[in-house]
Chains A and B, each alone.
Chain A
Amino acid sequence: MSRQPRPGPGSETPAPEPADADLLAMAAAHDATALTRLYERYRTVAYSLALRITGDAGLAEDVIQEAFLGVWRNAGRYAAARGSVRTWLMAIVHHRAIDALRRRRPADELPDVEMPPPSLVLPDIWPEVAGRLDREAIRAAMDGLAAAQREAIELAYFGGLTQQEIAARTGAPLGTVKSRVRLGLLSLRGALTGEPGPTTDDGAEEESGP
């Protein structure tokens, strides 16, 4: 795969640069320079995500160090069919950051909630939209969601909260949390791909459920 999704202005890479997947393959063959180059490409977006999740610069640095060490050790396990290198790498950062966040909370507040391992990350839609999406477009799509849907998604993704915890935090029933997350993700997909999304009226939220 030679595609290099890189949203955000001013982040074009010169043509002769090797593709992410090539660098990862080199890292899998124990080329530490290749890992460094991948790190240089993703250091800012990775650190920004870790910082947003942990809210703590020191913890975010630990997360990034551990995440890239994980990338280094597991480079050979990346499967292009499951998504882009960017997605794989950011899923590892996300996983590590949520893990750090949950471990730092008082033990009685949170059980050790497991995360889907990076290998279970599903095919992303980058190929469909890469190149014509920048961070602002993603933000705009997020802003277009109903506030309650956006909140539920953010509490899950950036806060590491489970369905039950989101329900407790927002005072919404479990079934409502479930449908908010589902409709929110579907709307986001519609906005990003240009496909028609689901209706977002609140009536659709009151789905019965567990």
Chain B
Amino acid sequence: MSGPGRLNCVDAAERAALYVLGALEPSEMAAVRQHLAECPEPHAEFAALGGVVPYLAELPEAVEPPASLDDRVAAAVEADVRARQRDESAAERLVSRMGEARPAALSTPVEPAPPPQAPAPLSAPSRTLLRRWRPLLEFAAVLVIGALLGWNLVLQGQLGEAGRRSAELREAAEALAHPNAVIARIAGTAAAPGVSGFAVLRGSGDATRAVVVVSGLPAAPAGKTYEAWYVRGETAVPAGLVSVGGDGLIVASLPDGPPPDAVALSLEDLPGTQVPTKVVALGKVGS
């Protein structure tokens, strides 16, 4: 026996009985495991001997476990279910933390705007679904942007604002079309269900900026404004005030900065704040 060296087929077969019982020394267990993983031979002796082992589990005298064990197992599973729900998504945790911090700051609840007519997929923010349909959604987003661009071009020249929006939409369209586009899929929080959109990152390093397109938010009530945020770790940094245009969209190119982990929108009292008060939409980068 030569310790944890490489085994040939004969060495491995010789160790089969002890192996299937888990009774080799650790280094030998590992060597056999490695041989089985790499060797193309069928090694029938492992199946022949190992097939007997499950029967040994039937040998002990039957002893009824205490009823308290049933409760312990059920409680352990329940605790695991709760933990799993808690960990569902870092972004959702963040939303709830930010949302619960100042629950009463907003006197007027945000009413969700009617869902946009086309294309529907983005208006139903089921995270799993969104993940699964990501390629399709990205294509759909490009189509929407194309349509919006056309619409905006009509208005261009009439309104300087429309010119700015067109430029930002074009920038978003170009960025989205890039195969390595980094996007954040934006969904409304509980305060503003039905909100959807995306942010696409441009630039790199400390000169990274997000171009944001969000639909489904109503115009901010009098005396209030929407504010954009870059979320990095657990810190939200103000990224400027944004407003809903006549087309029902928020379109904004946010300032340069280090790459964010998420992009958020909140509703604030004018003239805005340094800490988000009421998060209405959030998208995790890479989502």
Contacts and interface: CB of A to CB of B under 8 A. Distances in A.
B59 A124 contact: no
Interface residues of B, number: 51
B38 interface: no
Interface of B: 1, 14-26, 29-30, 33, 36, 46-66, 68-70, 72-74, 76-78, 80-81, 84
A33 B77 CA distance: 10
Given A181-B17, A210-B1, A113 B47 contact: no
Contacts of A73: 80
Interface of A: 7-8, 30, 32, 35-36, 39-40, 43-45, 47-49, 51-52, 57, 60-61, 64-65, 68-69, 72-73, 83-84, 86-87, 90-91, 93-94, 98, 111-116, 120-126, 133, 135, 138-139, 141-142, 153, 156-158, 160-164, 166, 174, 177-178, 181-182, 184-186, 188-189, 192, 209-210
A91 to B, nearest CB: 7
Contacts of B20: 116, 122, 185
Contacts of B65: 43-44, 47, 60-61, 64
Given A32-B77, A87-B54, A162 B60 contact: no
Contacts of A153: 21, 56
> Which secondary structure characterizes the binding site on chain A?
helix
A36 B60 contact: no
B33 to A, nearest CB: 7
B54 A83 contact: yes
Contacts of A57: 66
21 contacts: A30-B84, A45-B58, A47-B64, A65-B72, A65-B76, A69-B80, A83-B54, A87-B54, A113-B25, A114-B30, A115-B22, A116-B19, A116-B22, A121-B50, A121-B54, A122-B50, A124-B51, A124-B53, A138-B55, A163-B25, A164-B25
B227 to A, nearest CB: 37
Contact of B62 (A8, A32, A186): A8
A181 B64 contact: no
Contacts of B57: 45, 49, 90-91, 93-94
Contacts of B78: 32
Contacts of A188: 52, 55
A129 B17 CA distance: 21
Given A39-B70, A189-B48, A51 B60 contact: yes
Given A43-B65, A64-B73, A182-B16, 12 more contacts: A39-B73, A44-B62, A45-B58, A69-B76, A72-B77, A114-B30, A115-B22, A133-B55, A135-B62, A138-B55, A181-B23, A182-B18
Nearest to B65: A47
A60 B14 CA distance: 33
Q: Which of B20, B54, B70, B74: most chain A Cβ within 10 A?
A: B54
A88 B74 CA distance: 20
Given A32-B77, A44-B65, A52 B22 contact: no
Given A43-B69, A116-B33, A181 B77 contact: no
Given A61-B72, A65-B73, A65-B76, A125 B52 contact: yes
A39 to B, nearest CB: 6
Contacts of B36: 120
A91 B54 contact: yes
A189 B23 contact: no
B26 A114 contact: yes
A158 B56 CA distance: 9
